[in-house]
Amino acid sequence: NEMVAEAERTGQPSFSFEYFPPKTAQGVQNLYDRMERMYDFGPKFIDITWGAGGTTADLTGEIVTQAQTYFGLETCMHLTCTDMGEDKVNDALQRAYKSGCTNILALRGDPPRNKEKWSATDENFRYARDLVSHIRQKYGSHFDIGVAGYPEGTDDNKDEEQLLDHLKQKVDLGASFIVTQMFYDVDNFIRWVGKVRDRGITIPILPGIMPIATYASFIRRAKHMQCGVPDHFMSALESVKNDDAAVREVGKVLVADMCRKIVAAGIPHLHFYTMNLAQATRLVLEELNWMPTTTRPRKHALPWKQSLGLG
């Protein structure tokens, strides 16, 4: 991935933002407003998530097109494969291709909640690796392909070695970068990166960072993702939990510290789960002093902008 390679070369940390398709038309408008505002924070690219089973196919495609062609933001479209037929997968890829999007995060997709025992919709797509090879087969090197990584295991698999085997398969089939599940335990993340590298996996690893907006959402998401919360996070946040402003202040320092530690360990690019909100991510970036300034302007080198003389 060129953007991450640049950060590796220059030593200047870079970051990206993840957004999800909102449920209402007003929500979509709000998201566009926010994306426009957060463009000025200088993300290297943005991600748009994909609703399981293709439930957001149209909207995800529309937001990708909008971001890519109107806002001039490099985009990465998430795509799941095991909960839809091949036609839907192909339609989504074609739409992304036509909109100028060159990055796909290739995922398996979560099993539906109401099903005890789950089986793939299309036998050709059982795992994310099948989507990775499908994209490579159909589009050669047009897309950079991201895949998911799990420093703390997944819902359905806590066997670290097995998960690393499966991660390696995705990489061997053509993945270009890894985006991790959210986490707060940096020591464990750094240990896990070591294990990934020991497997001979050299592609960039983008740690997934979830800024802290409120105490309730922090606890809910950590529980939902079954991610470990270090003691110092709990003790600092618990004492201010009823004061949202204080939670944001304490939270931004905790998350910024964690980002610094990750960068110091040699990881040059961080991926922020924005939850479609600007504030919590902005506070962390300000705390890190990573927001663009007049002496350090945000850099975007999109060919279409340059060709219009706007670059």
Residues with Cβ < 8 Å from 193, sequence gap 6 or more? Answer: 151, 205, 265, 267
Nearer to ligand FAD, 179 or 247 (CB): 179
Would you give the binding string for ligand FAD spanning residues 150-189, x where CB under 6 A is met? ----x-xx----xx--x--xx--------x-x--------
Q: Which of 6, 8, 18, 123 is catalytic?
A: 18
Would you give the binding string for ligand FAD spanning residues 90-109, x where CB under 6 A is met? ---------------x-xxx
| Residue 208 touches ligand FAD, criterion: CB under 6 A | yes
φ and ψ of 70, to 5 deg: -95, -50
Extract long-range pairs of 117-122: CB within 8 Å, 24+ residues apart. Answer: 120/82, 120/83, 121/82, 121/83, 121/84, 121/85, 122/81, 122/82, 122/84, 122/85, 122/86
Closest CA to 167 of 180, 149, 153, 152: 149
Q: How many residues bind ligand FAD (CB under 6 A)?
A: 25
Q: Within positions 105 to 144, which residues make up the interface with ligand FAD, using CB under 6 A?
A: 105, 107-110, 127-129
Nearer to ligand FAD, 153 or 230 (CB): 153
Using alpha carbons only, what angle is made at residue 115 by residues 113 and 119, rounded to the nearest 5 degrees?
Answer: 110
Rounded to a whole number of angstroms, the minimum distance from the CB of residue 51 to ligand FAD is 7
Is 8 designated active site?
no
Rounded to a whole number of angstroms, the minimum distance from the CB of residue 298 to ligand FAD is 24
Query: CA-CA distances (angstroms) from residue 294 to 13, 161, 291, 299, 311?
Result: 18, 47, 10, 12, 16
Nearer to ligand FAD, 172 or 187 (CB): 172
Quick check: 283 and 272 in contact, CB under 8 A? no
Q: Within positions 15 to 74, which residues make up the interface with ligand FAD, using CB under 6 A?
A: 49-50, 52
Contacts to ligand FAD by CB under 6 A: 49-50, 52, 78, 80, 105, 107-110, 127-129, 148, 154, 156-157, 162-163, 166, 169-170, 179, 181, 208
**Active site residue ranges:** 18
